[in-house]
Amino acid sequence: MKLKQDDIYKGSLILVNASYPVRPEYLPELVQVESNYARIQLEQKTAAVLNGVLQAICANGRILPVSGYRTMEEQKAIYADSLQENGTEFTEKYVALPGHSEHQTGLAIDLGLQKEVIDFIRPDFPYEGICESFRRRAVKYGFVERYEKGKEAVTGIAHEPWHFRYVGYPHSEIMKEQDLALEEYIGYMKQFSFDGSHLRHRRNNREMELFYIPVEEEVSLRMPAQAVYQVSGNNVDGCIIVIWC
């Protein structure tokens, strides 16, 4: 398997925050989340997995998509409108700078409990009922609550119980078990190198090996014969690989 520098900037684990922007050349394959919400789109796999979670807990119509993929122009407009309506302090807490928003990846979705009026910036998504059922089940599918309470100093964003990010499985489960925000997980994985000790994760009698590899120009890896694996860049300096044993 060959990894090139471009591979750093694509995949479900790319870190997008105030320090690491979305690459201008990043263009996800987008699909409509639901037929009733034509303007809300997500990256193709992310949308399919999201619908899988909603169907599994019978939440369609009870949990609504509020905001998915945004273009740079849309993020600029949302940021400017929030500054005017809510002020600088509120906006810096809840709205990412244009170019630095996870919504520009197509991997993030804001969800809201079905109500007559839904707040676009801060939709209601409580820690009970169908919303909590989604939150618990989503981890098994590859989603994490991205901006958890207590992680504000790490993420740079206020607690957002409505904002979910697709990172893929088993990363979502490991992040939950280790209580790691995505920023922390990217750093945590660097101790598991390709030619060193790998992180092992087991579920349903199936074992997975995970490791990180830095990518400067081009890297060639000799993978096990018939190996099933997935690769994601971290949008920082390398890639994280999962081998399904």
| Residues with a known catalytic role | 160
Asked whether the bond before 161 is cis by omega within 30 degrees of 0, the reply is no
Contact 13, 180 (CB under 8 A): no
| CA–CA separation, 63 and 47 (whole Å) | 14
Alpha-carbon span 213 to 194, nearest angstrom: 6
Stated length of the chain: 245
Find the helix or strand (DSSP H, E) in which 166 lies.
strand 160-166
Instruction: Tell me phi and psi for residue 188, to 5 degrees.
Output: -60, -40
